[in-house]
Amino acid sequence: MNILEHYFTNKTRPAPFYYGWMVVFASFLCHMFIFGVPTVMLPLLYGPMTDQFGWNRSDVTILASVKFISGAFAAFFIGEFIQRFGVRLTAFLTSMLVGLTMIGFIFIDKLWHLGVIGFFLGVGSISLVITVKVIVSRWFQGRLGLALGLALLGTSAAGSTLTFVMEPLLVEYGWRTTVAILSAGIWFIALPFFMFIAREFPENMGLKTEGTEDSKNKTIKDLPQQFLDFAATVKGTTFIAMSVGVFLIGFVDQGLLQHTVEFLDKDAGLGRDLARYGFSLLMTISLFGKVCFGWIFDKLAIKGVIICYLSIGLGALLAFPVGSMETLLFFCIARGISHGGTIVDVPYLCRQAFGPAILARTIGTMTMILSAGFALGPYVIGQIYETSGSYDNAFYLCILLSLIAAASLMWVKPEYRTWLKNQEQQD
């Protein structure tokens, strides 16, 4: 037991706040530097890569597509790895992999190198996201949406600051060295903090899951069979409907995000500076989107996620008129708020529908499906642009898919949440 654990579990005086919030803070740092920075930096690299090598937009977005494809495959296995070896070892290994891959950007000079780099970046960063989702979902129940929203602010925090940090580095050192420099956040901040603070379960410190009382804090042995059988879970209507919604919304969200800077710069005619400022504003607003939607999820459950998915379609709709500061502002607000909710949805849905016993497996599998959408979206939208010379058809497609994703959640039932409430009433 280190000094921090002793302080929060000392029986002679009450702790100032629940230790789970420390886990949330450590998770936020990991999410920011190990997932957020590698994800947000990609749209800012496409322009310099295109200018240097003459690659087109669908070429450079191969980096994002391979990243998310490899992440999807990794997600299928990482849930079982976490179940066996724990979140701390998983966080350590994934941090090392992402950090070394970012240094590897120094050696990119051929198109196929993007695929190699994207592969390792995807395996490491998506695995880290699952790790964060699992550990926060283990520590929280009553305010799970809020806790996830705060822990997963990393992408938004990176997006709101990275454009200002990255642009001077790009000018001074070039895009290869800039990415290698950005890996310092992993080595000196994220990994040390997480290893010092994070603990696998509240029970490891003699604490209970937030939002439960003694009589309600059922152990895994007390859960009905339906919350223990992963094979049966993936065959159920709830899992299938959730998979459809998550895949489609992943397609739309990352498809739009990865093309945002190039769209604002060249197609909307706003120029590089205003495009990157707009992107930064979008990501800053998504900070509030994550927290707000986390709170909404806690209040409205599945209905809150449906609202989130519909707002993503609204963001795509507001891309059409962008061409001035006013229309850019409306677009950034709509996209920022809606983007904020998308990364919170998977762990929230899995916890409320399937419970904590098989959480690593359900989150891992659902993140694999989400990542498949992430991978396909940027590439398909790039191909639509190359074929038509415009993003209009891609935006129409995104609006349609957002509506279908929202509709699919009508068949998702928060079965664990309902069961837990029934137990509370009986107690």
Question: 261-277: per-residue pLDDT in tens?
Answer: 889 998 888 988 888 88
Q: What is the pLDDT of residue 214?
A: 46
Model confidence at 418: pLDDT above 80:
yes
Instruction: Kindly report the average pLDDT of the chain as a whole number.
Output: 88
**How many domains in the chain?**
1
The answer as to whether 310 is a domain residue is: yes
**Is 163 contained in some domain?**
yes
| Residue 333 forms part of a structural domain | yes
- Beta-carbon neighbour count of residue 219 at 10 Å? 9
pLDDT at 12 over 50: yes
Q: What is the pLDDT of residue 3?
A: 67
The answer to whether residue 427 sits within a structural domain is no
Q: Is the pLDDT of residue 339 over 60?
A: yes
* Eight-state DSSP code of residue 229: -
208 domain-assigned: no
CA neighbor of 155 nearest in space, from 132, 138, 136: 132
Range(s) of the domain holding residue 379: 17-202+222-418
pLDDT band per the 50, 70, 90 thresholds, residue 219:
low
Amino acid in the structure at residue 278: G
Per-residue pLDDT tens digits for 399-413? 999 999 999 999 999
Q: Which of 382, 296, 399, 396 is nearest to 340 (CA)?
A: 296
DSSP state of 265: I
Residue with tokens 């926060």: 136
The confidence score (pLDDT) of residue 85 equals 92
Is 12 within a domain? no
Averaged pLDDT for residues 160-185: 90
Q: What is the pLDDT of residues 105-139, one digit of tens each?
A: 999 999 899 999 999 999 999 899 899 999 998 89
Query: Could you tell me the CATH number of the domain that includes residue 47?
Result: 1.20.1250.20
Cβ atoms 416, 137 nearer than 8 A: no
Report in angstroms the alpha-carbon separations of 32 from 101, 103, 275: 16, 17, 22
Collapsing DSSP to helix, strand or coil, 299 comes out as helix
So what's the pLDDT on residue 216?
47
Assess if residue 226 is contained within a domain.
yes
pLDDT digits (tens, 9 = 90+) for 45-70: 888 888 888 888 778 878 877 887 88
In a domain, 1, yes or no: no
Q: How is residue 107 annotated by DSSP?
A: G
